[in-house]
């Protein structure tokens, strides 16, 4: 301490370093220079304190008469601009004065009395800080109210207020902003060295002048009192602080500062190439914060399974999470990359001109280098851009930065009026009405813009001053979804109710109710679109993020957000088409970003991505995870077993309501002996198709003593809601839209090779795209590839300029010199197939068998080229029976729901619907009701009257409705009758005769039309049916039902079946008197087309032998029939290569039907 005696104890204002001069003034505390400075500073803050005390007396009339305290006043009572300006001017002066007093007192204590502790002084400063914060918030509310008064009639005002309210809701506390400010200056200290050097120079100049001033004052002792304000550093420090914010903003926006002037950019050749910046190292906590850090680490460990699952892969990570009981939180957001490292223009030019090393940290699996998509030259580094591309991109980014700045200003209510007044960014920054704290907040936001803000700015730049029409594709999708019947919806909900993640059926019904109500809000929402506001001379649109961004826009985005990963960019895509283009551009290495290389770099995954299937969870290690350990009972130990079976699984996304997706999923559903598939709608959370519940497992085990065959399997992992959440937790990317299907594909047989499953998936994907040759893989990329070319020297992929004559990537692919090869990998052997070998295998690509199969599976594609087709399970009568809900019950519920949507009572409507359901399998035909009624009115003989009594036709139970009849009927009777019609539908649907289904439907339509027609004419046919009942010893009014399957009756629906059977047979006996009714109907005009069919021309019909199965089953066929099949089984080649094509041509269409 002795060495410090006599040294000035002040800290220099420029760099906070201890003054090295001798303490000659102020009782040996300071040097001459700092004694003057501390005295001037003291007088300055005392003077400002006095001004602050008198400022409230000069307040505007509104503030003097205000009933609410300033902290709570929202200034809604002020309606004129003049009063608002007066209030704002007063608050601004008070805010500036408070800031000067606070800064002066802090500076006085920190730089001159840092060794002293004055708690009273600090408490007063805290009081002033609180007061300044109240004034700042009040000033912001005044600005908001001013904006509302001036611009509330403008079209853009409503959505700007929404942006500001969202910004206010996410606003951070003042204490956090102070810490962020300190970190900001620490990160960019080099950028501010020029201004700090000027401060040090000015301080040194004052120190030299101090000695001259001392000599002069000795000579002028009797002169007037010295002006101490010249030594007061507060004004300079305030200007420095404000200027530092402005300088940083200009640095971020690539604007030249006034002091720096214009600087020439160095040539590109002289700048050394850059390498990608390494990730920031974790900070080491000090000893004081050790306990706190441990507590935070423990808390993080409880909320995440990442540390424990780093050593596992695939489903092993799921098993580890389950064992530790750490269940995932679904829908967790991906952490955004570090955006603090903002490049200068020179650094960006350097990076684009030299390329950077690619980041392969997250790449797994094998790669193929030297292909069209992955040339040798760009394997290690990104391809350098051409000089023209660099100039264009840098020029565009400079304007995008300005648009980004303007879009950030929209969320700041206190700065918006100044931004609206300014004609440029420089004019706004030089506006003295913008508070220093606002500049600080803006500086923090400009330094760390969100990826969404960057994307919106790129979209603003592409749009310019012209609005774009929004695509209203939702209406078309809703029409396709409404095409699904109520029966399909209800069956789907009940069939997979344990797998749905949301109550989608209820939401759908509620949505239909809302659509039927006239809504005025939709018109208002549509009218407020396409509005803009001019901020700092730039036009900002309110719908920047609603449209898909162009390729140039994504290029600018990838250059600006250089540390961003493609997995983050995917979240910003507005629809599937935008994401699909972004995927293809990345696969063709269009973006000069080092972190985007990990997307699709595994060749297996890349092939799936090229064909529209995007896996996000892959586990192809079933053979490694499975084990079969058993110990026999004859050893010294007891019999025991330890068995684990695992299935390979791929989980990914495909485009929703797409024809290719529909074909692919249907193809996989037909291969249930190899693969199992579950499809979940990303928009509704509805499971559309899934295998039986016993096949949902992907990881199961048996462990214990005794025989393994006597022990039950324990399913550890099953595909279901928990599995959905766990895979969602582990995924590295997710969409920002819901226009997709979630597809889960896993092996049927456990412990299989991964490539066996993969080959099935990729083959069916090729068939779904109808690829007949390897060259056709690129056919759907043609619109993209025809607009792109590749530089011969650098292998840079870029867009072709207008009127530029160069070879496109599509021309390269179609060139005859381009050779395509397929590699078959089995174990450690790799087999290469060239063009001639590919042609020799008829099953490698789409063929004639697939054409016939598609005609049966997708008949709508033959008559329509519709692009929006949802995937639905192909169901038949038998499958509907297995769903557990009777078709007739669904039919009645559907009609009841229709009545309910019209505002009627659902229960009453349902009963009325049942009673009016004349076309159902339960109702008595209208022709029979009217005919029997007429027969009863005739003069009856004793024989006919006795006949009616014996058959139960003499009376009818008029008081019992159909609804009551169904309620009192035996449940087994109702179920069997309902199911019998489902079996009939399936039986006829399986008819292989061409046109048989159409003919059957036509006959049923005519018969139902006749049965629904009221009777007219003689009643001979009624007595004929009564005689049949009497001959069979049956009655028409049975109430009992026999459960013995050997007895066909009694049951309560005999008369319905009898009348329908009579109508089907009577049309072939036109001469019979009893058939007169049917004959007359067939001869009517409505049956002209039906009467001319082959059904009534048996001679012509007999000329063609129908396609029917023989009565001999495969067990009793002649052994000679199997000779060719036995010879085929002896071949050693892969069956898919040698299976006779004509056999497939005959069998696969039958299987599809």
pLDDT of residue 216: 46
**927 in a structural domain:** yes
For residue 144, what pLDDT band results from cuts at 50, 70 and 90? confident
For residue 279, what pLDDT band results from cuts at 50, 70 and 90? very low
pLDDT of residue 613: 96
Burial of 31 (0-12, 13-18, 19+ CB in 10 A): buried
For residue 269, what pLDDT band results from cuts at 50, 70 and 90? very low
Is 960 a residue whose pLDDT tops 70? Answer: no
491/691 Cα distance (integer angstroms)? 15
Is 1129 a residue whose pLDDT tops 50? Answer: yes
Burial of 16 (0-12, 13-18, 19+ CB in 10 A): exposed
Q: Write the DSSP string, 569-594.
A: HHTT--SHHHHHHHHHHHHTT-S--G
Q: Quick one: average pLDDT of 617-629? A: 90
**997 in a structural domain:** yes
Domain boundary, last residue among 1101, 1128, 1148: 1101
Is 546 a residue whose pLDDT tops 50? Answer: yes
Query: Are residues 686 and 490 in contact, defined by beta-carbon separation less than 8 angstroms?
Result: no
pLDDT of residue 557: 92
**94 in a structural domain:** yes
Question: Greater confidence, 414 or 755?
Answer: 755
Across 221-230, 384-393, 634-643, least confident range:
221-230
pLDDT of residue 895: 65
pLDDT of residue 157: 66
**946 in a structural domain:** yes
pLDDT of residue 156: 62
pLDDT of residue 903: 59
pLDDT of residue 260: 42
For residue 297, what pLDDT band results from cuts at 50, 70 and 90? very low
Domain boundary, last residue among 598, 624, 643: 598
Is 236 a residue whose pLDDT tops 80? Answer: no
Is 290 a residue whose pLDDT tops 70? Answer: no
**134 in a structural domain:** yes
pLDDT of residue 768: 95
Q: Between 887-901 and 971-989, two packed helices, what is the crossing angle to 10 degrees? A: 100
For residue 959, what pLDDT band results from cuts at 50, 70 and 90? very low
pLDDT of residue 264: 41
Is 701 a residue whose pLDDT tops 50? Answer: yes
CA-nearest of 690, 737, 799, 444 to 572 is: 737
Annotate 701-733 with b (16+ C-beta within 10 A) or e (fewer). bbeeeeebeeeeeeebbbbbbebbbbbbbbeeb
**473 in a structural domain:** no
Across 241-255, 599-613, 808-822, least confident range:
241-255
CB atoms within 10 A of CB 752: 18
For residue 272, what pLDDT band results from cuts at 50, 70 and 90? very low
Of the segments 299-303, 818-822, 889-893, 1131-1135, which one has the largest average pLDDT value? 818-822
What average pLDDT is seen over the chain?
Answer: 77
pLDDT of residue 761: 94
Is 1140 a residue whose pLDDT tops 90? Answer: no
Torsion of CA 813, 814, 818, 821, to 10 degrees: 80
For residue 192, what pLDDT band results from cuts at 50, 70 and 90? low
Q: Quick one: average pLDDT of 1124-1139? A: 79
Residue recorded with tokens 């002209």: 1088
Question: Greater confidence, 491 or 481?
Answer: 491
Total number of domains constituting the chain? 3
Across 538-547, 557-566, 903-912, 1063-1072, least confident range:
903-912
**1016 in a structural domain:** yes
User: Which residues constitute the domain of residue 1083?
Assistant: 920-1101
Is 414 a residue whose pLDDT tops 80? Answer: no
Q: Write the DSSP string, 713-746.
A: PEEEEESSHHHHHHHHHH-S---SS--EEEEEEE
Q: Quick one: average pLDDT of 1083-1093? A: 88
Q: Quick one: average pLDDT of 1018-1022? A: 91
**1027 in a structural domain:** yes
| Tens-digit pLDDT profile for residues 83-119 | 888 888 888 888 878 877 777 777 766 767 766 666 6
For residue 1, what pLDDT band results from cuts at 50, 70 and 90? very low
Q: How many CA atoms within 13 Å lie on the side-chain side of 91?
A: 28
Across 458-462, 658-662, 954-958, 1011-1015, least confident range:
954-958
pLDDT of residue 654: 96
Question: Greater confidence, 159 or 358?
Answer: 358
Burial of 1097 (0-12, 13-18, 19+ CB in 10 A): exposed
- DSSP H/E element including 685: none
For residue 921, what pLDDT band results from cuts at 50, 70 and 90? low
Query: Are residues 467 and 559 in contact, defined by beta-carbon separation less than 8 angstroms?
Result: no
Q: Write the DSSP string, 415-466.
A: THHHHHH-SSHHHHHT-TTS-HHHHHHHHHHHHS--HHHHHHHHHHHHHTTS
- DSSP H/E element including 905: none
Across 247-251, 501-505, 667-671, 1042-1046, least confident range:
501-505
Query: What's phi and psi for 657, nearest 5 deg?
Result: 55, 40
Is 439 a residue whose pLDDT tops 50? Answer: yes
End-to-end alpha-carbon separation of the chain, Å? 100
Which percentage of the chain shows pLDDT scores above 90?
18
Question: Greater confidence, 145 or 1072?
Answer: 1072
Question: Greater confidence, 710 or 691?
Answer: 691
Is 304 a residue whose pLDDT tops 60? Answer: no
Domain boundary, last residue among 180, 201, 231: 231
pLDDT of residue 215: 46
pLDDT of residue 573: 92
| Tens-digit pLDDT profile for residues 833-865 | 776 666 667 788 898 999 999 998 998 888 888
Q: Quick one: average pLDDT of 887-910? A: 64
For residue 1149, what pLDDT band results from cuts at 50, 70 and 90? confident
DSSP for residue 867: S
Q: Are residues 224 and 350 in the same domain?
A: no
pLDDT of residue 513: 60
Is 208 a residue whose pLDDT tops 60? Answer: no
Q: Between 81-112 and 32-55, two packed helices, what is the crossing angle to 10 degrees? A: 150
Q: Quick one: average pLDDT of 339-364? A: 82
Q: Strand 714-718 to strand 740-747: parallel, antiparallel, or no bridges (unpaired)? A: unpaired
For residue 698, what pLDDT band results from cuts at 50, 70 and 90? very high
Q: Quick one: average pLDDT of 123-142? A: 82
Of the segments 219-223, 536-540, 682-686, which one has the largest average pLDDT value? 682-686
Question: Greater confidence, 7 or 781?
Answer: 781
């Amino acid at each position: 301490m002795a060495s410090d005696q006599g040294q000035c104890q002040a800290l220099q204002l420029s760099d906070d370093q201890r003054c090295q001069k001798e303490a000659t003034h102020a009782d040996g505390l300071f040097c001459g220079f700092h004694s003057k400075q501390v005295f001037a500073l003291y007088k300055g803050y005392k003077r400002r304190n006095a001004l602050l005390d008198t400022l409230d007396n000069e307040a505007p009339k509104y503030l003097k008469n205000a009933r609410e305290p300033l902290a709570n006043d929202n200034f809604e009572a002020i309606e004129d601009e003049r009063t608002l300006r007066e209030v704002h001017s007063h608050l601004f002066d008070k805010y500036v004065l408070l800031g000067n007093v606070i800064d002066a007192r802090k500076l006085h204590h920190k730089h001159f009395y840092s060794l002293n502790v004055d708690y009273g002084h600090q408490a007063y400063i805290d009081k002033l800080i609180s007061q300044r914060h109240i004034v700042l918030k009040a000033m912001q509310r005044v600005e908001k109210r001013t904006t509302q008064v001036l611009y509330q009639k403008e079209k853009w005002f409503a959505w700007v207020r929404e942006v500001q309210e969202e910004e206010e809701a996410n606003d951070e506390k003042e204490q956090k902003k102070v810490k962020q400010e300190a970190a900001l200056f620490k990160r960019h200290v080099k950028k501010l060295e020029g201004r700090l050097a000027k401060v040090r120079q000015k301080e040194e100049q004052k120190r030299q002048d101090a000695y001259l001033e001392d000599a002069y004052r000795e000579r002028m002792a009797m002169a007037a009192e010295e002006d101490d304000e010249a030594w007061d550093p507060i004004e300079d420090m305030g200007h420095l602080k404000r200027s530092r914010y402005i300088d940083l903003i200009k640095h971020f926006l690539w604007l030249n500062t006034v002091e720096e002037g214009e600087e020439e950019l160095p040539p590109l050749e002289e700048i050394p190439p850059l390498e990608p910046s390494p990730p920031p190292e974790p900070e080491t906590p000090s000893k004081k914060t050790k306990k706190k850090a441990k507590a935070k680490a423990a808390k993080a460990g409880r909320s995440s399974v990442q540390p424990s699952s780093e050593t596992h892969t695939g489903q092993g990570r799921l098993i580890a999470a389950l064992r530790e009981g750490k269940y995932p939180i679904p829908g967790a957001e991906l952490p955004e990359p570090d955006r603090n490292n903002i490049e200068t223009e020179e650094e960006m030019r350097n990076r684009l001109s030299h390329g950077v090393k690619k980041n392969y940290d997250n790449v797994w699996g094998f790669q193929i280098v030297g292909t069209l998509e992955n040339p040798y030259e760009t394997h290690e580094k990104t391809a350098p851009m051409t000089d023209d591309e660099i100039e264009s991109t840098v020029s565009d980014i400079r304007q995008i930065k300005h648009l980004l700045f303007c879009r950030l200003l929209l969320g700041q209510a206190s700065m918006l009026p100044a931004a609206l007044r300014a004609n440029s960014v420089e004019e706004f920054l030089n506006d003295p009405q913008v508070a220093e704290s606002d500049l600080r907040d803006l500086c923090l936001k400009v330094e760390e813009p969100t990826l969404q803000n960057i994307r919106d700015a790129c979209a603003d730049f592409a749009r310019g001053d012209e609005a774009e029409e929004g695509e209203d594709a939702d209406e078309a999708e809703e029409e396709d979804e409404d095409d699904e019947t109520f029966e399909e919806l209800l069956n789907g909900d009940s069939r997979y109710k344990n797998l749905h993640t949301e109550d989608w059926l209820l939401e759908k019904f509620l949505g239909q109710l809302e659509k039927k109500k006239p809504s005025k809000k939709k018109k208002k929402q549509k009218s407020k679109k396409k509005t803009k506001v001019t901020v700092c001379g730039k036009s900002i649109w309110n719908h920047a993020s609603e449209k898909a961004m162009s390729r140039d826009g994504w290029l600018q985005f990838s250059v600006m957000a250089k540390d961003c990963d493609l997995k983050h960019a995917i979240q910003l895509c507005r629809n599937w088409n935008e994401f699909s283009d972004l995927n293809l551009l990345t696969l063709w290495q269009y973006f000069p970003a080092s972190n985007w290389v990990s997307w699709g770099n595994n060749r297996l995954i890349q092939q799936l991505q090229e064909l529209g299937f995007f896996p996000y969870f892959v586990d192809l290690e079933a053979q490694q995870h499975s084990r079969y350990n058993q110990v026999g009972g004859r050893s010294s130990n007891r019999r025991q077993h330890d068995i684990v079976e695992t299935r390979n699984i791929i989980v990914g996304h495909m485009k929703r309501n797409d024809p290719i997706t529909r074909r692919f999923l249907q193809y996989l559903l037909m291969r249930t002996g190899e693969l199992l598939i579950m499809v979940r709608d990303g928009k509704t959370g509805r499971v559309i198709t899934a295998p039986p519940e016993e096949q949902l497992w992907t990881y199961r085990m048996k462990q214990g003593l005794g025989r393994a065959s006597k022990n039950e399997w324990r399913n550890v992992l099953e595909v279901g809601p928990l599995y959905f959440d766990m895979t969602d937790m582990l995924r590295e990317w997710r969409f920002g839209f819901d226009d997709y299907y979630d597809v889960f594909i896993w092996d049927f047989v456990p412990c299989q090779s991964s490539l066996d499953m993969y080959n099935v998936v990729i083959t069916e994907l090729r068939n779904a795209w109808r690829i007949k040759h390897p060259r056709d893989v690129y056919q759907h990329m043609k619109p993209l590839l025809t607009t792109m070319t590749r530089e011969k020297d650098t292998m840079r992929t870029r867009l072709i300029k207008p009127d530029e004559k160069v070879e496109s990537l599509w021309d390269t692919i179609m060139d005859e010199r381009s050779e395509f090869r397929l590699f078959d990998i089995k174990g450690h052997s790799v087999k290469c197939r060239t063009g001639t070998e590919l042609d020799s295998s008829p099953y490698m690509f789409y063929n004639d068998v697939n054409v016939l199969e598609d005609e049966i599976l997708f008949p709508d594609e033959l008559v329509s080229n519709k692009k929006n087709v949802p995937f639905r399970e192909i169901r038949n009568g038998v499958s509907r029976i297995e769903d557990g809900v009777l078709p007739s019950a669904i039919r009645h519920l559907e009609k009841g729901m229709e009545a309910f949507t019209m505002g009627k009572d659902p229960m009453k409507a349902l009963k009325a619907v049942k009673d009016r359901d004349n076309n159902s399998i339960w109702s008595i035909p209208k022709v029979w009701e009217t005919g029997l009624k007429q027969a009863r009115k005739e003069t009856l003989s004793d024989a006919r009257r006795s006949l009616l009594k014996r058959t139960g036709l003499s009376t009818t139970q008029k008081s019992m409705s159909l609804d009551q009849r169904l309620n009192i009927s035996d449940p087994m009777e109702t179920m069997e009758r309902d199911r019998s019609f489902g079996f009939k539908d399936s039986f006829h649907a399986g008819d292989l005769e061409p046109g048989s289904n159409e003919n059957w439907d036509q006959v049923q339509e005519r018969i139902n039309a006749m049965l629904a027609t009221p009777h007219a004419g003689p009643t001979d046919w009624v007595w004929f049916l009564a005689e049949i009942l009497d001959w069979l010893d049956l009655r028409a009014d049975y109430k009992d039902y026999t459960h013995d399957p050997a007895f066909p009756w009694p049951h309560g629906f005999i008369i319905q079946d009898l009348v329908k059977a009579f109508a089907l047979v009577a049309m072939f006996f036109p001469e019979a008197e009893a058939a007169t009714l049917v004959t007359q109907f067939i001869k009517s005009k409505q049956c002209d087309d039906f009467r001319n069919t082959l059904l009534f021309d048996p001679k012509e019909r007999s000329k063609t032998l129908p396609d029917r199965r023989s009565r001999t089953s495969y067990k009793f066929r002649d052994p000679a029939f199997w000779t060719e099949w036995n010879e085929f089984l002896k071949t050693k080649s892969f069956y898919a290569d040698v299976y006779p094509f004509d056999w497939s041509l005959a069998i696969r269409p039958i299987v599809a039907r």
